[in-house]
Structure 1
Amino acid sequence: MITDLRYRGASTGKRVFITLSIAVMAGYVLLILYPLMNMVLSSFKTNRAIISTPFALPETFSFATFKTVWVDKGFSHYFANSLFVTTISMTFVLLFGSMASYGISRYIYRGNTLVYMLFLSGIMLPLKAAIIPLFLLIKTLGLINSRWSVILIFLAMGLPSTVFILAGFMKTIPLELEYAAKIDGCNDFMIYRKIVMPMVAPAMALVTIYNAVPIWNDFFFPLVFLQSNSVKTLPVGLSTFFGQHSTNWSLLFTGLSIAILPMLILYLFMSKYFIKGMTAGAVK
């Protein structure tokens, strides 16, 4: 297996392999980026231009459609609702998930394996399959048309994978560090906060992106439980641009361009730790 991809000093065959690898990766990057770039460029076009010349550059770069979407169509409310739901959901997922993972990975008791398997069972059982009893439960709690209804659902969706990932990372932390901290006078909470959590920072970044993107993009649960325009999230708000007889593609592409920004910024800021979390344990 070729692991040294330095071009200088390489043989002719290896240079050909490196060149082909770079060409393939560049083609893959273009394949991924082109639809996104076309979406952003289409937000500056009219409906007629999008349909007649979908691959051409816009004639002018006017931000009038962005103003229309953000102000006139109430997109700022949808954006704020999605930001609130995603932020609160991820805060609870990371807090409760890390605490549960710490208890499962660092404490040994009779029901340890059973508790861990109960969390893992949440990965195999999708909540969408239980939408009817879930709807009755949320209705009984009086949370229909409340943002807290989807927050609780997203919390239940995110905890199993969070516990699965973080518990695996925490089990690799040497127990000697915990013993040394106890000798220095640290209690369990201080060990969790000052020793364990800093060491699993790459895993926390991995869990954040792994859960935040589906929560931000989820359409199904907000559509079922959020009925008022004042509490609808971005994916549901985007559906308002689809008319019965026509679709305003210009406004739709503008809304999509705005919607991808938070997750794009999140990944750019956390990509370093995300890659560390993905590759942790790959090299001994």
Structure 2
Amino acid sequence: MTSRLVKFILVAVFGLIIIIPVTMVVLTTVKTSEDFYMNPIGIPNSFTMQNMIQLFIGNHIHLNLLNSLIVTISTVFLCLLVASFISYVIMRLKGWRSLLLFGLFILGMFLPAQVNMIPLYGVVNALGLNNSLFGLILISTTSFMSVVVFIVAGFMKTIPKSLIEASVVDGASEWQIYRKVVMPLSAPSIATAAIFVSVMVWNDLLYPLLFIVSPEKKTLPLALLDFQGEYFTNYPMIFSGVIIASIPMIIVYLFMQRYFMEGITAGSNKG
């Protein structure tokens, strides 16, 4: 009885930690700036949808939302495509060559993004890709490639060798083994990597801030900085943008949560 009570208390506390900030964000979106600064954490005197309307009509947030969608979808697609090829090669190689190739990508995870800012800016500027969504997509793809290879290659290594050997005996080519055997079995890890990269790219502020200048090419997180000034910050507008930015990621997780949970628990079921 005591253990169940403790579990209930812990769950309730954890729930409050999640619910209270989310509730404050939602309430702030229906406040005016004056109401927010007079009563930041209270219930507003009157509810307004003006913040949401102003975001789409006055600030054209839909263009920034479209830019974020283009960058995120393109980055996730390129990351998964290239990383799946690399992971398959790592799985098929034997001995030190496989460990060396896998280790090189793991080393890429240890370098903070801030360390690469100056070299990356120099390369992008030299290629003439500064202030372009295409350049931002390439930078994001290369930046998150190591993480995707780590997730997908780690899962592919758990695929039974007998399945691969049986496919070889049946006369399957490397492309057929990759497409018809390895990729279907790796679906949970692909989904896990897709969700992880989607969230990271969607919320990324560093690279858009570094490479994007034109207002019409700004991503959603970068556009929300326009509401933060030196002497005044429009929190109701920012939180309204945060709500809008959260919706696509919630939809992605709801559609892929089954594969995501399978990818997380797959390692514990092997062996």
1:76 and 2:68 matched: no
C-alpha distance in structure 1 between counterparts of 2:96 and 2:231, whole Å: 62
Q: Is the 8 A contact 2:227 2:234 kept in 1?
A: yes
Match of 1:215 among 197, 201, 204: 201
User: Tell me, which stretches of 5 or more residues in structure 2 are unaligned?
Assistant: none
1:113 and 2:99 matched: yes
User: Tell me, which stretches of 5 or more residues in structure 1 are unaligned?
Assistant: 1-14
C-alpha distance in structure 2 between counterparts of 1:66 and 1:245, whole Å: 23
Q: Deviations over 1:161-219 (max 9, x none)?
A: 11111111111111111222234442211211121112121111211122221111111
For 2:55, the aligned partner's letter is V
What's the CA shift for 1:60? 4.5
C-alpha distance in structure 2 between counterparts of 1:61 and 1:271, whole Å: 34
Once the two structures are overlaid, the 10-residue window that deviates more, 66-75 or 232-241, is 66-75
C-alpha distance in structure 1 between counterparts of 2:96 and 2:37, whole Å: 64
C-alpha distance in structure 2 between counterparts of 1:35 and 1:139, whole Å: 40
1:40 and 2:40 matched: no
Partner residue in 1 for 2:255? 269
What does 1:60-209 align with in structure 2 at a 5 Å threshold? 60-108=46-94, 111-209=97-195
For 1:69, the aligned partner's letter is L
For 1:99, the aligned partner's letter is F
Q: Given the superposition, is the C-alpha separation of residues 144 and 26 from structure 1 closer, same or farther in structure 2, using an over 3 Å criterion?
A: same
C-alpha distance in structure 2 between counterparts of 1:76 and 1:27, whole Å: 37
Higher helix share: 2
C-alpha distance in structure 2 between counterparts of 1:259 and 1:55, whole Å: 22
Match of 2:242 among 230, 237, 256: 256
Partner residue in 1 for 2:38? 52
What's the CA shift for 1:67? 1.4
C-alpha distance in structure 2 between counterparts of 1:33 and 1:122, whole Å: 36
C-alpha distance in structure 1 between counterparts of 2:67 and 2:106, whole Å: 30
1:238 and 2:227 matched: no
Once the two structures are overlaid, the 10-residue window that deviates more, 177-186 or 231-240, is 177-186
For 1:124, the aligned partner's letter is F
State the secondary structure of the residue aligned to 1:157: helix
C-alpha distance in structure 1 between counterparts of 2:186 and 2:148, whole Å: 12
C-alpha distance in structure 2 between counterparts of 1:99 and 1:33, whole Å: 41
C-alpha distance in structure 1 between counterparts of 2:264 and 2:153, whole Å: 15
C-alpha distance in structure 1 between counterparts of 2:120 and 2:15, whole Å: 41
Q: Deviations over 1:120-161 (max 9, x none)?
A: 111011232021121111011000101122211111111111
State the secondary structure of the residue aligned to 1:167: helix
Q: Is the 8 A contact 2:88 2:153 kept in 1?
A: yes
Q: Is the 8 A contact 2:212 2:218 kept in 1?
A: yes
Q: Is the 8 A contact 2:32 2:48 kept in 1?
A: no
Q: Is the 8 A contact 2:155 2:267 kept in 1?
A: no
C-alpha distance in structure 2 between counterparts of 1:96 and 1:165, whole Å: 13
Once the two structures are overlaid, the 10-residue window that deviates more, 211-220 or 185-194, is 185-194
State the secondary structure of the residue aligned to 2:268: coil
State the secondary structure of the residue aligned to 2:189: helix
Q: Is the 8 A contact 2:35 2:45 kept in 1?
A: no
C-alpha distance in structure 2 between counterparts of 1:22 and 1:98, whole Å: 42
Q: Given the superposition, is the C-alpha separation of residues 37 and 185 from structure 1 closer, same or farther in structure 2, using an over 3 Å criterion?
A: farther
C-alpha distance in structure 2 between counterparts of 1:184 and 1:26, whole Å: 56
What's the CA shift for 1:105? 1.0
For 1:222, the aligned partner's letter is P
Number of aligned residue pairs: give it: 270
Once the two structures are overlaid, the 10-residue window that deviates more, 230-239 or 32-41, is 32-41
TM-score, length-scaled by structure 1: 0.89
Once the two structures are overlaid, the 10-residue window that deviates more, 73-82 or 187-196, is 187-196
